[in-house]
Structure 1
Amino acid sequence: MHEHLTPYDFNALSDDEFRLRFRAWLKEYYPEQWRQNDRRPYLRLVGEDLRACMLLLNEHGWRAPAWPREYGGMGLSFRKQWIYQQEWERAAGARIVEPGETHLGPTLFQYGTEEQKAAHLPRILRCDDLWVQGYSEPNAGSDLASLRTRAIREGDDFIVNGQKIWTTQASTSTHIFALVRTGQYEKKQQGITFLLIDLRAPGVSVRPIMNLAGDDELCEVFFDDVRVPVSDAVGAVDDGWQVAKSLLGHERLWLGSPAMANSAMHIATRLVKEIGLETDVGVTDRLAQLQCDLHDYRLLYTDICEDVANGAEVGPGASVLKVYISELLQRIVQFNAGIAAEYGAVIGDVQVGDLSTNLHWPFMWALPTTIYAGCNEVQRDILAKTVLKLPA
């Protein structure tokens, strides 16, 4: 794979030089229509917009900041990855969900064969393939090891039958990496295999699910006698649980970014002014409490990222980030909808004084943040057992 070595070593730059270089590139090349604003506070790119954005980054050498240079990535240190994220958020860059880069690539680095790396990594960078994650199933979400999608070996193929749910962007993607049941053992975490599946294969069907925010990016995926080569199993057959666990790492930190809460707080302060509530002590007290909570969280997030940048491991304590910021985001958007009175009940854009925004979509979108990526109840269990050392 060394023929794909990225020619430029960004780690040779000082942190300030790297920051200013990426900031200048975003200002010159990143299109306005892909930036978040008051009307699109959590804009996420999907489909062709996602592909076009990833191709633009790849063309200019800004794709895959965490990938090693020998696989075509930027090979950034953690500190420079953190700067990259800060500048992306500073430029109001759209939210990017691209599991091929963030999840599958690092998994192939660790567990993939040389043939799998050669086949898939360049296609991910070129956006020939767009990947989604196939983990959750009905009755197997937080208790993922209870999954029931089965893959029965038949010669050189697996025959896959079952269903995945809450599969983000499956309707606009080409491939899925999925956990499937290939064996029965005493421990339910055993007998699971990490399998790569073409969503265009015969027997695969995708059905979008409309949510309360009006989006249909979440999908159900059905497998009906889908034939998948055994060579598309990543890692050892029946040992996919270990492969899946390796996907955590720094992703837990980026998931805890305060960016969305910052956007919601910006709307909150504008609303208080535009509605004329600056002298309402009850409203301003609640706003001040939210501002203090967000300020404290920013310091916590910075401290944890700083520790990792200085060589610390991403421990289970990072689970506190996802718990805190998701619940704080919900409290801020609920505050916004509440003080906006009749404006808070409008579906779509509203004009409040000089502020043009959308209050309904962020309110509805924030509701599932405490559920996805490991529901907060499970995250609290992790914190209780591994950080506080409480008995089971």
Structure 2
Amino acid sequence: MATANTMDYNAMDEGEFRRMLRGFIAAECPPHLIDQARRVRWHEAKDWVLKLSAKGWLAPAWPVEHGGMGLNVEKMLAYHDEFDSAGVARHPDIGIVMLGMLLVRFGTDAQKAHYLPRILSGQDIWCQGYSEPGAGSDLASLRTSAVLDGDHWVINGQKIWTTLAQDSTDIFVLVRTDPAAKKQRGISFLLARMDTPGITVRPIETLAGDAEFCEVFFDDVRVPKDNIVGAVNDGWTMAKALLGFERLTHGSPKFAQMALQRLAALARELGVFREPAFAETYARLALDVADLTATYARFAETLKSGGALGPEISVLKLWGPDLYQRISEVMIETAGEHGVTLGPSTIGGAVFDPLGYYFLSRPTTIYGGSNEIQRNILAKTLLGMPG
């Protein structure tokens, strides 16, 4: 059961706040979740998630009245910086960083009362049913349908690249509820239990050998009529809001920060900071990470103050994953022969997985809206260029 927060973390001195987080992480975070160069599964992260939940620290961005920490931007950045500096792996958190914030903003009182506590307690683990084989970056072309039949929606179709669907208890899914309407206007946002009859999950193995993504098939899947978030055929509003949260998440500096920290540790073990070429490369990457962090803080402040994330959020989605990939490439080059070894290797007196970081960074420029699509958004909406 999640613990309600009674402490005003925003009133704390930042140094005290950081020391509090650092001490808890050092004492409680399982060693197997430190410096993982892959996405961890629910069974690996469950105990840690429940510890964070019991502490009231699982949802730093959520309002206090909904069980979150209610952190302002400065404390939010400090929170993520401490977890990332310690090398804590990202746990299955789609319910926290995506659906939870969406329900806070658009959900009914009944939906908030039912789902938010279950997310915080670890009872419900969510996955995202957006992309389809014929509707990836062009999400509005989705064809998965939902037809109202009495008190239930009947869903038919397929989703793909669904992260950790095999570990999830629930899925939020975009469906077409009015095939005659224009693409964006006939879409609705539904919630479904993964054990509902008619749902089939098929894992997809990645280049790194992990089953991080899945296909999800819907065959006459019946979900209650009240499982819709927002109005019927207004799912695109939900989608845009959630994509804003997602692009903020995917553009977060934490991925680049963690990779940069591992690169620095690797460089110290190999003694390459003495080499001028590497020192210059590292300095440029560190400055880029600092700039990304400052830009992220601006967008996070807009979101936390109740503002909407406009098309300019695509800058963050472009920049963060690209920087993450560039750091992973330097890590491979720096590691030399160990850079082409699959799995952890002992280099000097420490263990590193350069190829793991490289593989983990590859899809970041594709998911959440490919970088090519983000450039088109910026060109059309901010620069006024023809589509």
What TM-score does the superposition give when structure 1 sets the normalisation length? 0.88
Paired residues for 1:20-99 under 5 Å: 20-36=19-35, 40=36, 42-99=37-94
The Cα of 1:85 is off from its aligned counterpart by 1.1
Question: Is the counterpart of residue 175 in structure 1 residue 167 in structure 2?
Answer: no
Which residue does 1:187 correspond to in 2?
182
Q: CA deviation at 1:52?
A: 2.0
What is the SS of the residue equivalent to 2:62? Answer: coil
Which residue of the partner structure matches residue 202 of structure 1? Answer: 197
**1-side partners of 2:271 and 2:79: how far apart?**
38
Which residue matches 1:213?
A: 208
Is 2:250–2:364's contact at 8 Å kept on the other side of the alignment? Answer: no
Give the Cα separation in 1 of the matches to 2:295 and 2:313: 11
Query: Is 1:334–2:334 an aligned residue pair?
Result: no
Which deviates more from structure 2 when the two are superposed, residues 329-338 or residues 305-314? Answer: 305-314
Instruction: Give the residue type in structure 1 aligned to 2:297.
Output: C
CA distance in 2, matches of 1:279, 1:308: 37
CA distance in 1, matches of 2:312, 2:115: 33
Give 5+ residue unaligned stretches, structure 2.
Answer: none
- DSSP 3-state at the match of 2:174: strand
Distance 1:300 1:361 in 2: 23
Which moves more between the two structures, 233-242 or 103-112? 103-112
Of 291-300 and 61-70, deviating more is 291-300
Distance 1:147 1:255, change over 3 A: same
CA 1:221–1:250: 2 relative to 1, 3 Å: closer
**Is residue 137 of structure 2 the alignment partner of residue 142 of structure 1?**
yes
2:381 maps to which of 368, 383, 386: 386
The answer to whether 1:291 aligns with 2:283 is yes
1:335 counterpart letter in structure 2: V
- The worse-fitting range, judged by mean Cα deviation, of 285-294 and 192-201 is 285-294
Aligned partner letter, 1:285: A
Give the match for residue 324 of structure 1. 319
Amino acid at match of 2:149: E
Provide the rounded CA distance (Å) in 2 between the counterparts of 1:15 and 1:306: 19
In the superposition, relative to structure 1, how do residues 260 and 389 fare at CA in structure 2: closer, same or farther (>3 Å)?
same
Aligned to 2:255: 260
Task: Answer yes or no: is 1:305 the counterpart of 2:305.
Answer: no
How many Å apart are 1:266 and its aligned residue?
A: 4.4
Structure 1 pair 264/113, CA: closer, same or farther in 2 (3 Å)? closer
| Compared CA separation, residues 223 and 254, structure 1 to 2 (3 A) | closer
C-alpha separation between the residues in 2 aligned to 1:77 and 1:332?
A: 29
Q: Which letter does structure 1 place at the counterpart of 2:19?
A: L
User: SS of 1:328's equivalent?
Assistant: helix
**Could you tell me how far 1:385 is from its partner in structure 2?**
2.5
Report the more deviating stretch, 263-272 or 233-242: 263-272
Alignment correspondent of 2:126: 131
**Separation in 2, partners of 1:116, 1:287:** 52
SS at match of 1:247: helix
Aligned letter for 1:298? A
For the residue of structure 1 that corresponds to 2:183, the secondary structure is coil
Matched, 1:348 2:326: no
AA aligned to 2:288 is D
Rounded Cα–Cα distance in structure 2 between residues aligned with 1:189 and 1:328? 32
- Match among 109, 118, 123 for residue 114 of structure 1: 109
Question: Is the deviation greater in 239-248 or in 6-15?
Answer: 6-15
Aligned residue number for residue 15 of structure 1: 14
Residue-by-residue CA offset, 1:158-201 (whole Å, 9 max, x unaligned): 11111111110100110000001111244200111100011001
> What's the CA shift for 1:271?
5.3
Contact 2:87 2:258 in 1 (8 A): no
Q: Are 1:176 and 1:198, in contact at CA under 8 Å, matched by a contact in 2?
A: yes
Query: Which of 229, 232, 235 is 1:237 aligned to?
Result: 232
Q: 1:274 to 1:101 in 2, by over 3 A?
A: closer
Distance in 2 (alpha carbons) for counterparts of 1:185 and 1:150: 12
For residues 356 and 106 of structure 1, do their structure 2 counterparts lie closer, same or farther at Cα, with a shift above 3 Å needed?
Answer: closer
Secondary structure class of the residue paired with 1:21: helix
Distance (whole Å) between structure 1 residues aligned to residue 180 and residue 157 of structure 2: 19
Output the TM-score relative to the length of structure 2. 0.89
Helix, strand or coil: the match of 1:316? coil
Deviation per residue, 1:25-50 (Å, 9 max, x gap): 223322323222xxx3x353321233
**Percent of pairs with identical residues:** 44
Q: Distance in 2 between matches of 1:75 and 1:242?
A: 24
CA change 1:81–1:276 in 2 (3 A) is: closer
AA matched with 2:179: Q
Aligned to 1:190, the other structure's residue is in SS state: helix
Deviation at 1:367, TM superposition (A): 1.6
- The corresponding residue for 1:362 is 357
**Shift of residue 249, structure 1, vs aligned partner:** 4.6
Give the partner amino acid of 2:94.
P
> Would the aligned equivalents of 1:265 and 1:291 in 2 still touch at CA under 8 Å?
no
Which whole-Å deviations, capped at 9, do the CAs of 1:196-239 have from their partners, x for residues lacking one? 01100111111110000111021111111111111111111111
- CA change 1:294–1:17 in 2 (3 A) is closer
Kept after mapping to 1: 8 A contact 2:33/2:45: no
